[in-house]
């Protein structure tokens, strides 16, 4: 069996800004795992927030033994982008070898489409209102915030999309004081969920704090090892394949999270349809699905996922799984 990794770049449809900075393209790693007859595919997005670079993740993948299995992978690599791409490629390979779909191998029900959030980039209130108006037909909008001056932005988005369900991602950008001040206004404006309001290293402040809107752990939740530290702070966990280190761990995290009483959000980095395809299986029945990466791109894989009024659909065999 042979593992290869390549760098790919996908242009974004427009500049995408969060509280940490802006980008105009998605830089991803594409992994191929082949047995000589069948080839499995996976994708990951190295993330600087977790000390990952294209080069460091490539090195992790290239240093793996040739005949690695999904079971062995868990001990060879930590949770993160490298393990994700290889794990998902192995799922794809195993499905092709067995002549079955990946959801069958995982013992999951037949998947269907899931309504996904559409993310509005951080911008001036005026521009965010204009963005919201353009996408007001979408049932679920996600707003990137995380600055001390977020109320005018939130008010502007609500004015631009008065009927849409809204969730907020603060990307660790608020202090406990800012969050406490904003919380009553989130209720007034009909916000359904707040994602990672405080820095992961400072989220102890959430213990005992009133949470009138469900609070979701993103940067604070990576894999099952994260769960003990979330108790009393969060209501929802955001599971991303690149954080969990693949579909194998993500499925286990979802199961354990549900058993511990958390609601589930399935999120993504900004990547192509190949990165989203395994996550669609994970998203079945989730409280929130946020797999809009391909919608933010100006270009995608040759066999992209289908997005329509029913949401994001499971992948065709020509893409993954």
Cα–Cα distance measured from residue 241 to residue 250, given in angstroms and rounded to the nearest whole number = 6
CA angle 278, 284, 286 (to 5 degrees): 115
In sequence order, what are the beta bridge partners of 41? Answer: 32
The CA angle 130-132-137, to the nearest 5 degrees, is 125
What is the distance between the alpha carbons of residues 202 and 34, in angstroms, rounded to a whole number? 43
> Taking the chain, what is the end-to-end CA distance rounded to the nearest angstrom?
18
Instruction: Report residue 169 as tokens.
Output: 């991602």
Which of 235, 286, 243 lies closest to 265 in space, CA to CA?
A: 286
Contact 211, 235 (CB under 8 A): yes
When computed from its CA atoms, the radius of gyration of the chain, rounded to whole angstroms, is: 19
Catalytic choice (96, 142, 233, 240) = 240
Q: Which of 96, 144, 233, 243 is catalytic?
A: 144
27 catalytic, yes or no? no
Query: For 300-309, which contacts have Cβ atoms below 8 Å and span 24 or more sequence positions?
Result: 300/10, 300/272, 300/273, 301/272, 301/273, 301/274, 303/273, 304/272, 304/273, 305/273, 305/276, 305/277, 305/280, 306/113, 307/116, 308/113
Q: Active-site residue 144, yes or no?
A: yes
Active-site annotation, residues: 144, 240
């Amino acid at each position: 069996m042979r593992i290869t990794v390549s760098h790919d770049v996908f242009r974004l449809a427009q500049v995408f800004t969060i509280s940490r900075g802006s980008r105009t393209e998605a830089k991803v790693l594409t992994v191929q795992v082949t047995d000589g007859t069948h080839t499995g595919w996976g994708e990951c997005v190295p993330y600087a927030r977790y000390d990952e670079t294209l080069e460091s993740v490539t090195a992790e993948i290239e240093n793996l033994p040739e005949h690695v299995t999904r079971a062995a992978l868990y001990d060879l690599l930590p949770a993160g982008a490298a393990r994700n791409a290889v794990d998902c490629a192995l799922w794809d390979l195993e499905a092709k070898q067995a002549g079955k779909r990946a959801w069958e191998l995982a013992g999951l029900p037949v998947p269907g489409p899931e309504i996904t959030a559409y993310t509005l980039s951080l911008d001036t209130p005026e521009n965010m209102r204009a963005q919201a108006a353009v996408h007001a037909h979408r049932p679920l909008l996600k707003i990137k915030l995380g600055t001390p001056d977020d109320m005018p932005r939130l008010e502007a988005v609500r004015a631009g999309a008065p009927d849409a369900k809204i969730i907020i991602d603060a990307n660790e950008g608020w202090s406990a004081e800012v969050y406490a001040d904003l919380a009553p206004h989130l209720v007034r404006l009909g916000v359904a969920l707040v994602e990672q309001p405080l820095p992961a290293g400072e989220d102890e402040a959430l213990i005992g704090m009133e949470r009138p809107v469900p609070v979701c752990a993103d940067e604070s939740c990576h894999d099952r090892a994260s769960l003990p530290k979330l108790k009393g702070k969060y209501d929802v966990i955001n599971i991303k394949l690149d954080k969990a280190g693949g579909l194998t761990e993500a499925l286990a995290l979802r199961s354990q999270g549900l058993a511990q009483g958390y609601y589930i959000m399935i999120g993504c980095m900004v990547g192509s349809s190949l990165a989203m395809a395994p996550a669609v299986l994970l998203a079945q029945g989730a409280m929130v699905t946020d797999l809009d990466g391909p919608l933010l791109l100006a270009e995608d894989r040759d066999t992209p996922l289908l997005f329509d009024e029913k949401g994001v659909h499971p992948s065709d065999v020509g893409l993954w799984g």
